Structure 1
Amino acid sequence: MQPCCRCLFLLCVFHLSGTWPDLEGSFTLRLLRTFVFQNASFVDTEGLGLLQDIELGSLDKHTWSIRFYQPWVHSALPRSDWDTIQNMIRIYVHHFIHLIGEGALEKNVPYPFVAQCMVGCEMYPNRTSRAFAYVAYNGQDFLSFDTDNATWVLSQDTSLSRYVLAYLQNYTAFSELLEVLFNETCIDNMEVLLHHGKAALERQEPPLATVFARTPSPAQLLLVCRVTGFYPRPISVAWLRDGQEVPPGPALNTSPILPNADLTYQLRSVLAVFPRDGHSYACRVRHRSLGTRSLLIPWGNPEIVLIAGLAAGLVAALVVAAVIARWVWRCRKHQQMEVSESRNSILSKEA
């Protein structure tokens, strides 16, 4: 089954020895393939490799050559290995198209339809891992590969899914290949990619946040907190009412995190309130790029406040203020003593 095979072979070629980088958190290596079956004679296909959300590369459907989106991916293997991979990918792609095409013809599947595959592995901070392989049909789960038992499992029970399942279950060489790749190759490949792509994975872009209001009706005010330009993806956005966090509820609506064109992310959080209700509101943003600090954007005040844990920040400010005040006082006292001594000296000479 090609999209999986094509993706899986990409996993295979990343098999190199590397040093495990000093990175935190879990990591996922995913290889995606999409096939649009327009009719019995024309199929359009696209593929992509991802480490976390970093695009590694794709296969040009016209030239069957790999396009590298990151220079450190290309340098991971010699040119001869990449040439071999390209040829194997082409074979697997053609094989999958033939398999699905035959199944569609035998089961009278209406055109057009879309087949997709996602295969890869995830590594956790304690170095344990899990592998996965999924096939979808028209955007719905179709088949999945049980890595523990090395067998395919139906996600939806249709004549087409049973046909493909039966074919794959009898294709023992492919299942064995999957098992080897999942149990041995994928994690090794990920370690190599993490080593080469450490700088890209550690990239941090701080969020930009603004607060504005919309009035859908005289009795309702929508406070909108727009946060954009941040990377990596994880972020925390909350509304504060009189300094207390507003709990989830029908008045609070936060959008999914969406990508920007510059490889950063954005989201919006909207809070419905009553106009002139007497409360103060602020949007609080926490992100890895800010460290222990937070962005605090009060409603009605365009100034963005960067806070570093209010208690610690306040204490530090008071300490600094006290030190400065004492230093100024001592300087002034010293100057006064010098002036006094100078005057006494002058009076003594005149006498």
Structure 2
Amino acid sequence: MQPPCRYLLLLLYLLFLSGTWADLEESFTVRLLQTSTFQNTSFVDTEGLGLLEDIELGSLDKHTWTIRFYQPWVRPALPRSDWDTIQNMIRIYLQQFNHLINEGAMQKDVPYPFVAQCMAGCELYPNRTSRAFAYVGYNGQDFLSFDVDNATWLLSQDTNLSRYVQAVLQNFTAFSELVEVLFNDTCVDDMELLLHYGRAALERQELPVATVFARTPKPDQLLLVCHVTGFYPRPISVAWLQDGQEVPPGPALNTSTILPNSDLTYQIRSILAGATRDRHSYDCRVRHRSLGKGSLLIPWGNSELVLITGLGAGTWVARPAATALWVWRRRKHQQMEESDSRNSILSKEA
């Protein structure tokens, strides 16, 4: 019997064969995610997803156990015969996984229903070194993790069930050796093809839309809100400046996590608490890859809208009365429309 995650890791090996190295100056992570809900000993509902960073490569049809491709460049990366092999391996893996989990659940009197999860993948660094990982979860909690360097499974929670699964997995020495070879020796080469085909998607950039406005939940309380949305990729820096100095983390500063939008971009909100009679000046500063070395600097509390360009640091400043709003995409579209209009006039004149 093959252990859980072995075929999941083999899929990574088949997915990322040799190709042309993409000259990208950052780290990249590929992950295969599996969630299996065991309703009883005879019915298991399984979902699977493949990701390169936050780009969804494809998912698993839970009824047929076949791959559904989400990106047009994923399927052409491998010949049809390789995809057939991968789909057959998915079926074998899931059959073995379900059998082993059900067997352990019955031996340890685990109550149904429950959820088992598995995540495997590797992270590739700019110097062409890599780090592999494999995790098993149970009912939404960390359960086991694989130490690639020592080829051992580590307990994330110490229970009779986790010790049982750990012992079963640890007996599969061939699996441990496979993980070491795949991820310590070949992850760099295996990742090349995917990075090559997906380079345009990985380098996609969307400019942020930043808005600053105020709320007064109490007569003497002022909440300054900086809402930034529509940006891609995900990493972003949003900070408040008080009289030109960055406000450090504290009870007055509350920044949300980065949340996804429906159009495959992201949003974030930062709220700074103050007093209505506060006479300090405040600015919301946004830094993002799409802005290059510049940044968005949106002051609060000015009487008119002013666009300042040509600053040495490449900073853009918007100054409104009650709301500071700078929509980068709109400006970009206007420039394109003006350019098209000029080209049309020149064409008619010619």
> Is the TM-score greater than 0.5?
yes
Q: Distance in 1 between matches of 2:243 and 2:173?
A: 64
Q: Distance in 2 between matches of 1:136 and 1:121?
A: 18
2:154 is the counterpart of 1:147 = no
| Fraction of identical pairs, as percent | 76
Cα offset, 1:37, TM superposition: 1.5
Q: 1:66-85 to 2 correspondence within 5 Å? A: 66-85=67-86
2:195 is the counterpart of 1:194 = yes
Aligned to 1:43: 44
Q: 1:1-351 to 2 correspondence within 5 Å? A: 4-301=5-302, 303=305, 305=307
Unaligned runs of 5+ in 2: 317-350
Structure 1 pair 66–258 and aligned structure 2 pair: CA distance change class (3 A): same
Unaligned runs of 5+ in 1: 315-351
Paired letter, 2:100? L
Q: Which has the larger radius of gyration?
A: 1
Query: TM-score under structure 2 normalisation?
Result: 0.84
Paired letter, 1:149? N
- Whether the 8 Å contact between 2:209 and 2:228 is mirrored in structure 1 is yes
Higher helix share: 1
Q: Distance in 2 between matches of 1:158 and 1:313?
A: 55
Structure 1 pair 182–287 and aligned structure 2 pair: CA distance change class (3 A): same
Cα offset, 1:192, TM superposition: 1.3
Cα offset, 1:12, TM superposition: 1.7
The residue matched to 1:10 in structure 2 has which SS? helix
- Whether the 8 Å contact between 1:26 and 1:125 is mirrored in structure 2 is yes
Structure 1 pair 312–129 and aligned structure 2 pair: CA distance change class (3 A): closer
The residue matched to 1:103 in structure 2 has which SS? helix
Cα offset, 1:305, TM superposition: 4.7
Q: How big is each residue's C-alpha offset from its partner over 1:160-197, in whole Å with a ceiling of 9 and x where there is no partner?
A: 11111111122223223222222234332212111111
More divergent stretch after superposition (198-207 vs 181-190): 181-190
Paired letter, 2:60? L
- Whether the 8 Å contact between 1:31 and 1:48 is mirrored in structure 2 is yes
Q: Distance in 2 between matches of 1:90 and 1:111?
A: 23
Q: Distance in 2 between matches of 1:308 and 1:116?
A: 52
Q: Distance in 2 between matches of 1:2 and 1:218?
A: 62
Structure 1 pair 18–304 and aligned structure 2 pair: CA distance change class (3 A): farther
Q: Give me the CA root mean square deviation.
A: 2.0
Q: How big is each residue's C-alpha offset from its partner over 1:211-249, in whole Å with a ceiling of 9 and x where there is no partner?
A: 111111112111111101100111110111222221111
Structure 1 pair 305–27 and aligned structure 2 pair: CA distance change class (3 A): farther
Structure 1 pair 26–256 and aligned structure 2 pair: CA distance change class (3 A): same
